[in-house]
Structure 1
Amino acid sequence: MTVRSFFYIQYLPEKLNPEFLAGRCLRVLHGFMSSRQLNNIGVSFPAWSENSIGSTIAFVSPDNRLLSSLKSQKYFLTMEQEGYFKLSNVQTISSELCSNEDLFYRERQQETLTPAARERAFRRLKSRAEARGETYKSLMSYPGNKVLQKCHSVPLEISSRQIIQFNIGKIDVTAQSEAIFSSYGLGKKDVKIGSVPCLKPFIFNDASIC
């Protein structure tokens, strides 16, 4: 089993939007990973619940030097200096202590069910039909009240300044998997790649975290 390290960020404002702040943190991670062509930093949400993604985000990697570099990114330091974030030290977890694993992934199926996604799909298919000289007749159908459990919507600003909604899901896995992640630190649910240690026992021993 690979020895891994992590650091976490706690959002400090009493009235906060944790999904919004998670999106800002994921954007920083994406820029950091993409510019260095990395795929070995995963994201975790240790305070995850059915109602919220939680007021804490953590970053996990076998390479603690990378984590130290990520932690020093300007956005994180500025938010810490202004009293919005609490940043932990980079800590290493012994493999023997990691009895549970979490896998956070992008739930694309739920994203296709939003009104905005349906409208984009309609426009795309209509444009293609018109390019062929045809009149588009929608044959798209959607389940009426489909609800996917353990999924939180995170607004994320992409390079074009457009805001997209990342629907992030979580599953429990029985064993540590290969540390390969997307540029947003997410794993792949279908092939069970990109798990991170369950950090709740390690972080929430700190009484200041809630």
Structure 2
Amino acid sequence: MTKRYYFCIRYIPTDADFELLAGRCISQMHMFMVNNQQALHKIAVSFPNWNESTVGQSIAFVCEHKETLIGLSFQPYFSLMVNEGLFEISSVAEVPDTVSEVRFIRNQTIGKNFLGSKRRRIERSMVRAEQLGTERLLPVTREDRVINSFHSIPISSSSSGQSYILFVQKELADERSNSNFNSYGLATNQERRGTVPDLAI
């Protein structure tokens, strides 16, 4: 298969909010891809220090095109954070063939289990029932979902100005899959099933 490349960003302050910093880094990558359409869905995110309690103190970006990653690594936000002594950025390197494969999956169904989301869905269904002239019955909710470990990464949209949460889970993969990711560099439950190297450091 095609060679892949990566670079890592390590957050220097050990007491930083790693999820918040990951969200800011992902936002930068998202904007970079939107402004460089040939990169869209081609750059992926990996979390080398992911564990049960945190996304870890570093984030990695993976792509089959070395030049694309070099361009991403020189984004003004990353340079500013390096100059402020908050980030350490590695050079772009080739992914070793010996690493195992994982998926970092954006699982939007997790958000549906939170009370705010449930309330909004109930309100929407009641409004629909009223518009259709049917009886306003409360929808039946299923509470039997089992959710494996996940982390919440806050994201701000530069286009809409809205903030939201990426619910991300790590999944082991048997083999490498094609580079197919959403615009946040993540796999999804169904359509986008790309894998990334498990760059445990």
Tell me the TM-score normalised to structure 2 length.
Answer: 0.91
Identity of aligned residues (%): 34
Q: In the alignment, which residue of structure 2 is the partner of 1:68?
A: 70
CA distance in 2 between counterparts of 1:32 and 1:130 reads 44
Q: In the alignment, which residue of structure 1 is the partner of 2:125?
A: 125
CA distance in 1 between counterparts of 2:75 and 2:25 reads 10
**1:191/1:162 Cα in 2 relative to 1: closer, same or farther (>3 Å)?**
closer
CA distance in 1 between counterparts of 2:14 and 2:45 reads 23
**1:80/1:132 Cα in 2 relative to 1: closer, same or farther (>3 Å)?**
same
CA distance in 1 between counterparts of 2:14 and 2:95 reads 30
- State the Cα deviation string for residues 2-49 of structure 1 (Å, max 9, x = none): 210000111111321111111111111111112222111000011000
Unaligned runs of 5+ in 2: none
Contact 2:182/2:192 (<8 A) preserved: no
- State the Cα deviation string for residues 50-96 of structure 1 (Å, max 9, x = none): 111111100000001000111111111111111111111001124x3
The alignment status of 1:177 with 2:177, answered yes or no, reads: yes
The alignment status of 1:106 with 2:106, answered yes or no, reads: yes
Q: In the alignment, which residue of structure 1 is the partner of 2:83?
A: 81
* Aligned-pair CA distance for 1:131: 2.5
Tell me the TM-score normalised to structure 1 length.
Answer: 0.87
CA distance in 1 between counterparts of 2:161 and 2:191 reads 32
CA distance in 2 between counterparts of 1:166 and 1:191 reads 17
Q: In the alignment, which residue of structure 2 is the partner of 1:149?
A: 148
Name the aligned partner's letter for residue 44 of structure 1. Answer: S
Contact 1:177/1:195 (<8 A) preserved: yes
The alignment yields a C-alpha RMSD, in angstroms, of 1.7
Name the aligned partner's letter for residue 58 of structure 1. Answer: A
Unaligned runs of 5+ in 1: 205-210
